[in-house]
Amino acid sequence: MASIDDLIQALKEADPEQLKQFTSSMTVSTKTKTKQVNIPHGPVKSFTTVITNYECKLCGSKFSKPRQLEKGDIVNCLDTTGENHPMKVTGQIGTVYINSFVSRCDHCEGEIKTWSREKLEQSFLALARSCTFKEIHNFTMSE
């Protein structure tokens, strides 16, 4: 392997015309090519504001939950018998209100604590009458 001093000496002794040709072939272009890149961004999305108004069947609380949904999203709501009614969002811009029921909610504990003893007894007995054997068994085993 040649040292730097050897290379410098070889350059001094080289033919100037050959060095000119050699260096011109090594010239690096300072121009940079700009490449235009088209970035796909997909379709513009429009959202529908869906406000679901809930009523809790256990404690009677009423509350709402707003959501931003896209066209094609499914909203499930329950009628008073507990039957599910899926609804597909049409994509219309604006606000849509939906009424739905839940069997229990986050407000039940606080609401039930305000009930009178008589209301608690009536509600518990009605609930117990509607339970299956397995549900009663699971309830008594959880105590």
Give burial (CB, 10 Å; 0-12/13-18/19+) of 59.
buried
**Where in the sequence is the domain holding 134, given as residue range(s)?**
115-143
Supply the pLDDT for residue 50: 93
Looking at the fold, whether 74 and 130 belong to one and the same domain comes out as: no
What does the block give as tokens for 100? 């739905």
Supply the pLDDT for residue 90: 85
Task: Tell whether 77 is covered by a domain.
Answer: yes
Render 61-101 in DSSP notation, one character per residue: -EEEEEEEEETT-EEEEE-TT--EEEEE----SEEEEEEEE
Count: domains in the chain: 2
Supply the pLDDT for residue 16: 78
Looking at the fold, whether 76 and 53 belong to one and the same domain comes out as: yes
d(Cα 63, Cα 130) in Å, to the nearest integer?
A: 26
Task: Tell whether 23 is covered by a domain.
Answer: no
Looking at the fold, whether 61 and 94 belong to one and the same domain comes out as: yes
Looking at the fold, whether 122 and 90 belong to one and the same domain comes out as: no
- pLDDT tens per residue across span 5-25: 877 777 777 777 777 777 777
Instruction: Show pLDDT as tens, one digit a residue, over the chain (143 residues).
Output: 567 787 777 777 777 777 777 777 766 666 666 666 666 666 667 788 999 999 999 999 999 999 999 989 999 999 989 899 999 988 888 899 999 999 999 999 999 999 999 999 999 999 999 999 999 999 888 87
Task: Tell whether 27 is covered by a domain.
Answer: no
Looking at the fold, whether 107 and 120 belong to one and the same domain comes out as: no
